[in-house]
Chains A and B, each alone.
Chain A
Amino acid sequence: MKAKHLALFSVLLAVALVLAACPAQPAAPAAQPPAAAEQPAAPGVINLQLMGWASSDAENVRLQEVVDGWNAANPDIQVTLNLVPDYDTKLQTSLAGGAPPDIFYVDSFRLPDLAAAGALLPIGDQMTNVDDFYPSLRDAFTVDGVFYCPPKDFSTLALEYNIDLFDAAGLAHPTADWTWEDLRAAAEALTDKDAGVVGFAINPDFARWIAFLYQAGGEVTTPDFSAMTLNTPEALTAMEFYVGLVRDGVAAPASDLDSGWPGEAFGKARAAMTMEGNWIVPYLKDQFPNLNYGVTELPSGPAGKATMAFTVCYGVAANGRNTEAATKVVDYLTGPVGMKAWTDLGLAMPTRQSLREGWLAMYPELEPFLNGAEYARKWQFRPGFADVLDTINSGLQEAFSGLKTPQQVLEEAQSVGEQVLAR
């Protein structure tokens, strides 16, 4: 008797499990009529999902306000903002699963991979007054001549310096006219071994060294990506200068300064200078409110000025169900009105040249970052370039430790890059 009951119970359990498991199966997206299944209520309303990663609380709240503004003015297109952790993994699985969010953040470095996979709808040229976007930022989201998605905001690298340490050493403050020689001389003068202070905090990071590469007149690849150009004398000059600062003890990576990143070392006054983007400003205000520091443009190298633009765009999924509505929303978010509402907070910089003056009137101290947009280079290469990034990062690390020479690092990066371009 007991056995029978148990048997019955387990049958029920098994059935329940199967039933529970079924809806978890991804619905086949291709065969479905558009927007039929999900929203039974409110006919005629298009519901869109905007997925991104969370940043500071202030930014998250402001973005929600901008989205709320759209929702209030457009009852027929309602946008839900979804800020998720572990963004890249989440985006990739939802794309592969065939049910991507309608609009999602795309980092410029990641763009070539997504474009090559056909995941993005090219909507850049459908935006209002496309020429208003900085050319360097449009370039960052252009692959093979196609402008995929409009930039949401951007950051550039600039030189941050500790005013108190400069004054204590009796040095003139850095200016936008500085050269590598000025940087090196100041770093030497500001390094104080006994106090554990170095002149300059730099990490073994391709995304920082590359600014020096461009300042030296070097290039990573030829413009058409047909060949790597890291075997040039210019690249060697940049690598020797960057590594030399660390090997000679006048600069150090964050880990040698008991910090998680150069911004922290700079905040702790363990380094008199560093080169970070405008994200360092809210960080320092929050963590080191009493730090007396200034910002200026990066110094010029043998070939002049250069900085990097790190930027994110609003991508529209190629196989989304409401691409037209999604494009409209993106046009609002990156348009003159939406962009102004989003960047008025002062944490992100407007990607439209027409908003420059108004924004600078509110945040004059951030001008060096915004000026960088004029001559910034894009942080975007080819699909699979993560291999090159990894190789240069680990090569720089080894060069910092004296395990490799700058020449060896470049040779290796050149060879890996050639393999990636040949794929």
Chain B
Amino acid sequence: MATGIKQQDRQDAIAGWLFMTPALFLFAFFVFIPIFFAVYFSFTDWNGISPPTEARFIGAENFRVLLLEDGIRRADFFKALKNTAYFSLGVVPMQTALALLLAVVVNQRRLRFKGFFRTAYYFPSITSSIAISMLFLFLYQRNGLVNQVLQTITFGLWQPIAWMADPRGLFHIIFGWFGLTLETAPDWMRANVLSLPVWDWISGPSVALMGIMLLNTWTTIGTMMVIFLAALQDVPREVYEAAEIDGANGRQIFFSVTLPLLRPTLFFVVTLGLIGTFQVFDQVYVMSAGGPAKTTLTVAYLVYRNGFTNSQMGLAAAIALLLFIIIFTLTLVQRRITEGKKE
């Protein structure tokens, strides 16, 4: 008897491995090996043009240039990191909150045309990101729809701006209202920290970057909404009924019942958002190519630019590796925070 079960187990194990083989092969070829090479190249001076075998091993030189040596390459790296951080700080909370709101709305039992709304909200997520980016380029023009709408709702007070060509930072604009500009700024704001003046660090997202943030939020809400929706439908009806019987109102039910039950999903959505925003590339590539004045230069775009227009593939690989470490750390920190709340 016992041997029979063991036999069965072994057969199951073999079948299991065989089932995984195709995926494992694909994974090895297209993920493991490329990652291994990327790590290797980050320690070389490979230019991306000559055969990789000619790349010279230079130790941690690329990382030294990026992190320790004062110069344009460190300045660009931290500028990209700053832009990406502002991007993430803006997009992740916005997309999570809006997606949750939409999910709760389309989850209502008495909502009519439920299917229509669910499809409509999900639509931007499945449309080609390139096509949408091209479309938004027109919307953001000086005489484009966005400016026209803003002009209409402010009764002509809004001065049209060329969104995608405006390098002014949001915080800089706000500082300007209070008379704080680079000329009037105290000296410490002009000092360099990591090759970038403090004044630049506190710029906030530029108008152009905010344009991309808005677009990115709009295209990602749908996916996040579907995830929240699935979780919401998993919440047993009885819990809500019990809360209602206890006399809880709608707001109390949402904050004390729905939200705590959604915590694992919330973690998942925020993690996805964090990773997605730190890797944003396609919309930057299509809409701004890092400009105006490098204010939409993101880390992922910097990797591309170094690898394919600056002939510094080794440096690009090093940036990619640093980006991986940053995302990994952020995810760990975020998990710690979400878990901590559980107790």
Cβ of A18 and Cβ of B25 under 8 Å apart?
Answer: yes
Residues 376-423 (chain A) with a chain B CB within 8 angstroms: 383-384, 386-387, 390-391, 393-395, 397-398, 401, 403, 415-416, 419-420
Q: Report the Cα distance A97→B164, complex, angstroms.
A: 37
Cβ of B25 and Cβ of A11 under 8 Å apart?
Answer: no
CB distance from B34 to the nearest CB of A (A): 13
Question: Which of B15, B47, B290, B308 sits near A6, CB closer than 8 Å?
Answer: B15
Cβ of A17 and Cβ of B25 under 8 Å apart?
Answer: yes
Cβ of A10 and Cβ of B51 under 8 Å apart?
Answer: no
Q: Report the Cα distance A415→B76, complex, angstroms.
A: 14
Cβ of A95 and Cβ of B50 under 8 Å apart?
Answer: yes
Known: A10-B18, A10-B22, A419-B71. A394 touches B49 (CB 8 A): no
Cβ of A384 and Cβ of B167 under 8 Å apart?
Answer: no
Question: Which of A256, A257, A384 sits near B311, CB closer than 8 Å?
Answer: A384
Known: A10-B15, A386-B309. A258 touches B143 (CB 8 A): yes
Q: Specify which chain A residues have a CB less than 8 angstroms from the CB of B19 in the assembled complex.
A: 6, 10
Cβ of A256 and Cβ of B162 under 8 Å apart?
Answer: yes
Interface string of A10-34 (1 = CB under 8 A from B): 1101100110010000000000000
Question: Which of A98, A118, A384, A397 sits near B293, CB closer than 8 Å?
Answer: A397
The yes or no answer to B310 lying at the interface (CB within 8 A) is: yes
The yes or no answer to B21 lying at the interface (CB within 8 A) is: yes
Q: Report the Cα distance A204→B29, complex, angstroms.
A: 43
The yes or no answer to B294 lying at the interface (CB within 8 A) is: yes
Q: Report the Cα distance A10→B162, complex, angstroms.
A: 57
Residues 113-163 (chain A) with a chain B CB within 8 angstroms: 113-114, 116-119
Cβ of A92 and Cβ of B308 under 8 Å apart?
Answer: yes
The yes or no answer to B118 lying at the interface (CB within 8 A) is: no
Number of interface residues of A (CB under 8 A): 47
Cβ of A387 and Cβ of B72 under 8 Å apart?
Answer: yes
Question: Which of B25, B49, B166 sits near A117, CB closer than 8 Å?
Answer: B49
Which residue on B lies nearest to A393, using beta carbons? B291
Cβ of A403 and Cβ of B168 under 8 Å apart?
Answer: yes
CB distance from B286 to the nearest CB of A (A): 13
Cβ of A96 and Cβ of B51 under 8 Å apart?
Answer: yes
Count of CB-CB pairs between chains A and B under 8 Å: 117
The yes or no answer to B263 lying at the interface (CB within 8 A) is: no
Cβ of B18 and Cβ of A394 under 8 Å apart?
Answer: no
Cβ of B164 and Cβ of A403 under 8 Å apart?
Answer: no
Q: Specify which chain B residues have a CB less than 8 angstroms from the CB of A119 in the assembled complex.
A: 49-50
Cβ of A17 and Cβ of B50 under 8 Å apart?
Answer: no
Q: Specify which chain B residues have a CB less than 8 angstroms from the CB of A7 in the assembled complex.
A: 11, 14-15, 18
Q: Specify which chain B residues have a CB less than 8 angstroms from the CB of A395 in the assembled complex.
A: 293
Q: Specify which chain B residues have a CB less than 8 angstroms from the CB of A415 in the assembled complex.
A: 72
The yes or no answer to A74 lying at the interface (CB within 8 A) is: no
The yes or no answer to B12 lying at the interface (CB within 8 A) is: yes
The yes or no answer to A3 lying at the interface (CB within 8 A) is: yes
Question: Which of A13, A113, A394 sits near B292, CB closer than 8 Å?
Answer: A394
Cβ of A3 and Cβ of B12 under 8 Å apart?
Answer: yes
Residues 86-115 (chain A) with a chain B CB within 8 angstroms: 88-89, 92, 95-98, 113-114
Interface string of B16-31 (1 = CB under 8 A from A): 0011011001100100
Q: Specify which chain B residues have a CB less than 8 angstroms from the CB of A89 in the assembled complex.
A: 308
The yes or no answer to A175 lying at the interface (CB within 8 A) is: no
Which residue on A lies nearest to B142, using beta carbons? A258
Cβ of B21 and Cβ of A10 under 8 Å apart?
Answer: yes
Which residue on B lies nearest to A255, using beta carbons? B165
Q: Specify which chain A residues have a CB less than 8 angstroms from the CB of B25 in the assembled complex.
A: 14, 17-18, 21
The yes or no answer to B52 lying at the interface (CB within 8 A) is: yes
Residues 37-87 (chain B) with a chain A CB within 8 angstroms: 47-52, 71-73, 76
Q: Specify which chain A residues have a CB less than 8 angstroms from the CB of B47 in the assembled complex.
A: 113, 116-117
Q: Specify which chain B residues have a CB less than 8 angstroms from the CB of A403 in the assembled complex.
A: 167-168, 182, 293
Q: Report the Cα distance A114→B48, complex, angstroms.
A: 10
Cβ of B141 and Cβ of A258 under 8 Å apart?
Answer: yes
Which residue on B lies nearest to A100, using beta carbons? B49
Q: Specify which chain B residues have a CB less than 8 angstroms from the CB of A253 in the assembled complex.
A: 165
Q: Report the Cα distance A18→B21, complex, angstroms.
A: 10
Cβ of A118 and Cβ of B162 under 8 Å apart?
Answer: no
Cβ of A3 and Cβ of B15 under 8 Å apart?
Answer: yes
The yes or no answer to B133 lying at the interface (CB within 8 A) is: no
Q: Specify which chain A residues have a CB less than 8 angstroms from the CB of B290 in the assembled complex.
A: 390
Q: Specify which chain B residues have a CB less than 8 angstroms from the CB of A11 in the assembled complex.
A: 18
The yes or no answer to B96 lying at the interface (CB within 8 A) is: no
The yes or no answer to B312 lying at the interface (CB within 8 A) is: yes
Cβ of B52 and Cβ of A416 under 8 Å apart?
Answer: no
Q: Report the Cα distance A88→B71, complex, angstroms.
A: 27
CB distance from B182 to the nearest CB of A (A): 7
Cβ of A416 and Cβ of B165 under 8 Å apart?
Answer: no
Q: Report the Cα distance A14→B28, complex, angstroms.
A: 13
Q: Report the Cα distance A255→B143, complex, angstroms.
A: 10
Q: Report the Cα distance A88→B14, complex, angstroms.
A: 46
Cβ of A88 and Cβ of B49 under 8 Å apart?
Answer: no
Q: Specify which chain A residues have a CB less than 8 angstroms from the CB of B76 in the assembled complex.
A: 387
Which residue on A lies nearest to B290, using beta carbons? A390
Which residue on B lies nearest to A415, using beta carbons? B72
Cβ of A17 and Cβ of B22 under 8 Å apart?
Answer: yes
Q: Specify which chain A residues have a CB less than 8 angstroms from the CB of B29 in the assembled complex.
A: 21
Question: Which of B51, B76, B164, B291 has the most CB atoms of chain A within a 10 A radius of its CB?
Answer: B51
Not counting A113-B47, A258-B141, a sample of 16 additional A-B residue pairs whose C-beta atoms are within 8 angstroms of each other reads A3-B11, A7-B15, A10-B18, A17-B21, A18-B25, A89-B308, A113-B49, A118-B50, A384-B311, A387-B73, A390-B305, A391-B72, A397-B293, A403-B168, A403-B293, A415-B72
Residues of B within 8 A of A (CB): 11-12, 14-15, 18-19, 21-22, 25-26, 29, 47-52, 71-73, 76, 141-144, 162, 164-168, 182, 290-294, 305, 308-312
**10 A-B pairs, CB-CB below 8 angstroms?**
A3-B11, A117-B47, A255-B165, A256-B165, A258-B143, A390-B305, A398-B167, A398-B293, A403-B182, A420-B72
CB-CB nearest 4 A-B residue pairs? A255-B165, A10-B18, A117-B49, A394-B293
